């Protein structure tokens, strides 16, 4: 069935270190993979996205990589800062309807 | 420009009641999607409307219904509320029919007692 698994559920890093969050998806027809950041009590905000015809995309300290063969994609945050602390959600589009299936979230804590 | 706006922000209902949630998309966005977010989980897709037509529906019972108006605003209706319907209901808008570049509203927190 339609499923997106996300790991880890919590991640604690020291300021300046890197953080990596991984997701796997089940639908081989998925072609769009966004990442959302949700701060406590706030709306999810799109931070980066990638389409299936691209293997990697970078935006300043944030990068996403996609392995279509293995059906997994990852979010990489370098030089983490306390303001990066939030819950991060990955998502994958389901090929036939384009609806997004979200992962269960990763709570990232960056300690000063 | 205003972002996606939702009303009300909070709502308390009792089991069996009906509720209507409202959403106004970003100006120029013709697609509105509804998601349910239970505490500690990722958003779950409920509906998508594009140009006033239903384009997709998630695995939710028929008690959930929605519509989109000519000005692209949308309403989500839930009948015969159950305790398990307690959640944050998020509306998201996008320019195109696909679910790319979704902009979310702040949500309506629904509590069913």
Q: Is the CA virtual torsion A102, B73, B12, B58 positive or negative?
A: negative
Using an 8 Å Cβ cutoff, are A34 and B100 in contact?
A: yes
A54 interfaces chain B, CB cutoff of 8 Å = no
Distance from CA of B73 to the nearest CA of A (A): 18
Residue B25 has a pLDDT of 97
A32 interfaces chain B, CB cutoff of 8 Å = yes
Residue of B4, B41, B58 lying closest to A104 (CB–CB): B41
Distance from CA of B47 to the nearest CA of A (A): 9
Averaged pLDDT, B35-61: 93
Put simply, the answer to whether B55 touches A44 (Cβ < 8 Å) is: no
Residue B83 has a pLDDT of 97
A35: three-class secondary structure by DSSP: strand
Cβ count within 10 A of residue B86: 17
Distance from CA of B44 to the nearest CA of A (A): 7
Residue A54 has a pLDDT of 86
User: Mean pLDDT, chain A, as a whole number?
Assistant: 94
Beta carbons within 8 Å of B59's beta carbon, 6+ residues apart: none
Residue of B40, B42, B56 lying closest to A102 (CB–CB): B42
Residue B98 has a pLDDT of 83
Statement: residue B99 has pLDDT above 90: no
Averaged pLDDT, B2-22: 96
Q: Torsion over CA of B22, B28, B30 and B33, rounded to 10 degrees?
A: -50
Statement: residue A104 has pLDDT above 90: yes
Q: Categorize the per-residue pLDDT at A97 as very low, low, confident or very high, splitting at 50, 70 and 90.
A: low
pLDDT tens-digit series, residues A14-50: 999 999 999 999 988 899 999 999 999 899 999 999 9
Put simply, the answer to whether B98 touches A93 (Cβ < 8 Å) is: yes
| Side-by-side strand order, sheet with B64-68 | B5-7, B19-24, B74-78, B64-68
Q: Is the CA virtual torsion B86, A3, B35, A63 positive or negative?
A: positive
Which of the residue ranges A50-59, A93-102, B3-12, B54-63 would you say has the lowest mean pLDDT?
A93-102
Averaged pLDDT, B27-32: 94
DSSP classification of residue B98: S
């Amino acid at each position: 069935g339609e499923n997106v698994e996300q790991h880890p559920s919590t991640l604690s890093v020291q300021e300046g270190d890197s953080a990596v969050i991984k997701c796997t998806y089940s639908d081989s027809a998925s072609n769009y993979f966004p990442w959302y950041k949700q701060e406590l009590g706030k709306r999810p905000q799109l931070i980066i996205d990638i389409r299936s015809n691209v293997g990697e995309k970078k935006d300043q300290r944030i990068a996403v990589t996609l392995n279509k063969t293995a059906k997994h994609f990852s979010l990489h945050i370098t030089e983490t800062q306390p303001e990066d602390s939030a819950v991060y959600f990955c998502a994958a589009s389901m090929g036939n309807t384009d609806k997004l299936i979200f992962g269960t979230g990763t709570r990232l804590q960056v300690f000063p | 420009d205003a972002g996606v706006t939702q009303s009300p922000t909070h709502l308390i209902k009792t089991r069996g009641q009906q509720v209507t949630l409202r959403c106004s998309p970003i100006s120029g966005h013709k697609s509105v999607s509804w998601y349910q977010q239970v505490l500690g989980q990722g958003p779950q897709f409920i509906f998508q409307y594009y140009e006033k037509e239903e384009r997709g529906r998630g695995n939710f019972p028929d008690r959930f219904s929605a519509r989109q108006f000519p000005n692209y605003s949308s309403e989500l209706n839930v009948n015969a509320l159950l305790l398990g319907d307690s959640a944050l209901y998020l509306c998201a808008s996008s320019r195109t029919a696909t679910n790319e570049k979704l902009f979310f509203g702040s949500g309506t927190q629904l509590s069913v007692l």
